[in-house]
Amino acid sequence: MIEYGDVPEYFFNHFNSLIRVAVAERAVDRLFIHAGAVGWKGKAIILPGTSFVGKSTLVAELVRNGAVYYSDDYAIFDRDGLLYPFPRTLSMRADDENFTRFELTPSGLGGVVGTEPIAVGTVLLTEYKPDAKWDPKILTAGSAALEMVPFTFSFVNRPDFSLGVLNNISSRAIIISSQRGSADNFAETLLDFVDKHVN
């Protein structure tokens, strides 16, 4: 008989990931996007992206700079495009050869967790590149919706619902695309950009 203590930790991490993906793909009235998300002055900043592009690291730095924490992994929306909180601990990877995982809490970053749904003000399509120059390009609503499709879990199962939500998000927000440098230097730059163009 297998005891709880005999099961390796990676099994639970993998099983947790499978459950979250299953829920994301089958949710009836919510759209899940693989993205980090924070609130800033009453509107959401969404950071779609795959793993290893620096979503959690940037979310952590935004929270350190005063943003409200919503999620570091799944951004969850209703059909109107409002963002809902998914406030699990931030899953970080150390900058070592094994990308060792560790957890951070929003309170440990000096931040707070969002509790109410909010409208999206900014969607940033970005990834970390050493020495990258911040050169934001503003996308059209149609282009933005298409850019978010690869990060949308239920698109294959419910394309009409998914596109409707993506259109509601992209038609009301500013959508920008640019590579970025290190998160600790970039977080303040992003918040300043949002202040000038959204809030």
Q: What angle do CA 16, 64, 192 make, to 5 degrees?
A: 115
Q: What is the pLDDT of residues 109-145, one digit of tens each?
A: 999 999 999 999 999 999 888 888 999 999 999 999 9
Mean predicted confidence (pLDDT) in 46-58: 86
Domain boundaries, the chain: 4-197
What does the pLDDT read at residue 23? 56
The reported pTM is 0.84
- Which residues touch 36 (CB under 8 Å, ≥6 apart)? 46, 47, 49, 55, 56, 58, 59, 71, 72, 73, 75
Q: What is the pLDDT of residues 64-87, one digit of tens each?
A: 999 999 998 899 999 999 999 998
Domain range 4-197, CATH architecture: 3-Layer(aba) Sandwich (3.40)
Residue 1: band (very low, low, confident or very high) from pLDDT cuts 50, 70, 90 = very low
Among 20-34, 43-57, 95-109, the range of highest mean pLDDT:
43-57
What does the pLDDT read at residue 4? 52
